[in-house]
Amino acid sequence: MKTLLKLTALLTGVVIAGCSSGSSNPKTVHSANGNAGMVQADLSPLGADATYNAPRTLDNFNDYVVFLKRKAAGQGVSKAVLSQQNNIRYIDAAVRLDQKQAGLAERRKNQPPLPPNPNGVTNYIAKHLTQAKVDKAEENYWDVRTQLQNASRQYGVPQEYLLALWGMESSFGYYQGDYDVLSVLATLAFDGRRENLFGKEFINAMKMLEAGHLNRAQMQGSWAGAMGQTQFMPSSYLNYAADGDGDGMKDIWSNEYDVFASIANYLHSVGWDSNLPWGVEVTLSQPLDLSLAGTEKGKARSLSQWQSMGVNINGFNAARTNALASTDLWLVRPDKEVGRAFLVTNNFRTILDWNRSSYYALSVGMFADRIKAATGL
């Protein structure tokens, strides 16, 4: 498909007529610079189950954009808003990056599984949680502590976790991405590998514009459509973005009141418990079957039950141990039987809701601990 797209990309100044079942059939001019001028495009609503059956060649891209707009119309986005969203372009870089990500996963799937790495967690933490990052978090804390405190009080999520996620997601607001979100979402949906996901996100981005949360020029993000200092996809924005300073806006791009309120609202909404830590590292004094590890609901046990099975907390912190003794705990062994082990609370599982990687969730929890120690929170 990539070769076909490159060949058709050479065709410019072509008049396109959509020919798909459920497509828009607009008269579309595809210009040499990739911009599109829609002439009397049909924006009548389509149902959520409508499919696009025309060839996925670049000369049909503009037709496909109108198809997505019609699906957005079917979910309540007005014709006025849809008509205003022009210059939605095919972003080749987004496809290349997505294919690279998919290719790595495919190669791993088709190869024999690698032996467990005893240093997997350690190596990940060393790369993603540096002392420089902790120092930067401490430095930033004093500049944004009022915003952090407001969000923490309102949603019951400790400040150190909000600061940790901010640092992990956008390097404290520094990296947000400068891709046009509608363009990359339409491109990735058109590419087809994850059409359902990116098509829905395109529609949700249109819903954001319909609600007046921001204008099109502000809607910039990563190559996959994640936006702002929180790196929310449009669906996460609609579900969790919050107005932290009461100005009527939910600005996750430039307003730290809204940034921290949105992070806190996300964690609170998926089950954060303000009385619990994320977890603790443990040592196993005897072999345990790997099937006991994992964060599935049925694998939870009490601290005393885990201790009776030879799971011992590393070090001693009275407050943390007492908190752990009062709740369900899960055993997490990211590197299987050869690596480090952790007992985690449901708060760890809420971080997994944000990002399904155990390595990532551990790095956020450890980052929060180090921020707390550095700032005296």
Residue reference for tokens 């699906």: 71
Instruction: List Cβ neighbours of 129 (8 Å cut-off, separation of 6 or more).
Output: 363, 366, 367, 370
pTM: 0.86
Q: Cα dist. 373→135, 137, 349, 367, 370 in Å?
A: 11, 12, 23, 10, 5
Interhelix angle 256-269/346-354, rounded to 10 degrees, is 120
pLDDT score, position 40: 63
d(CA 20, CA 247): 45
pLDDT score, position 102: 73
pLDDT score, position 5: 39
pLDDT score, position 317: 85
Q: Are 200 and 233 in contact (CB under 8 A)?
A: no
Burial of residue 109, with CB atoms counted within 10 A of its CB: 0-12 exposed, 13-18 middle, 19 or more buried: exposed
Query: Position 259: which residue type?
Result: V
pLDDT by residue for the chain (377 residues), tens only, comes to: 433 333 333 333 332 333 333 444 433 333 323 344 445 689 999 999 999 999 999 999 999 999 999 999 999 999 999 999 999 999 999 999 998 887 655 555 667 777 878 899 999 999 999 999 999 999 999 999 999 999 999 999 999 999 999 999 999 999 999 999 999 999 999 998 899 999 999 999 999 999 998 899 999 999 999 999 999 999 999 999 999 999 999 999 999 999 999 999 999 999 999 999 999 999 999 999 999 999 999 999 999 999 999 999 998 788 899 999 999 999 999 999 999 999 999 999 999 999 999 999 999 999 999 999 999 99
- 282 secondary structure, DSSP code: E
d(CA 236, CA 234): 5
